[in-house]
Amino acid sequence: MAKNEYICFNQSYRIIQSTYFKQLNMNSKQEYIRLLSDFKTQRGLVYGITRIGIFGSVARGEQTEKSDVDIYYEGNPLSLFKIMTLKNELENRLNCTVDIVRLREKMNQVLKKRIQTEGIYV
């Protein structure tokens, strides 16, 4: 246990959680949201992204060291090359594997419902 864990339960939990994620080389949900928000501000126009968010295990707070970050965006359709460039840029920024999908009217309805249910816009 860290030296200053006795202060209160909430601080103790934050210290343990922070240590856990650092040991696993993972970010917390809040950190992924911050990084993704920064990305949208800095690079969103390049890709025609109007909105972006996370869903899946990270959004639910259930990620493990093997989890990827599931990202959805709204905006212009992208070529395969642009999608791969976007994916690589996000993986470098978030320091993990990402899966990315464009949220649109005509898409797999099961996936769309999952995004609408558990998605978190940044």
pTM here is 0.77
Split into its structural domains, the chain has a count of 1
Residue 27's pLDDT band (cuts 50, 70, 90): confident
CATH number at residue 92: 3.30.460.10
Q: Which domain holds residue 110?
A: 26-121
Please list, in sequence order, all residues whose beta carbon lies within 8 angstroms of the beta carbon of residue 61, skipping any fewer than 6 positions away. 29
Distance separating alpha carbons of residues 77 and 63, to the nearest angstrom = 29
Residue whose entry in the numeric block shows the structure tokens 């994916």: 87
What's the chain's average pLDDT?
Answer: 85
User: pLDDT at position 26, please?
Assistant: 65
User: Is residue 79 situated within a structural domain?
Assistant: yes
User: Is residue 16 situated within a structural domain?
Assistant: no
User: Is residue 11 situated within a structural domain?
Assistant: no
User: Is residue 87 situated within a structural domain?
Assistant: yes
User: Is residue 20 situated within a structural domain?
Assistant: no
User: Is residue 9 situated within a structural domain?
Assistant: no
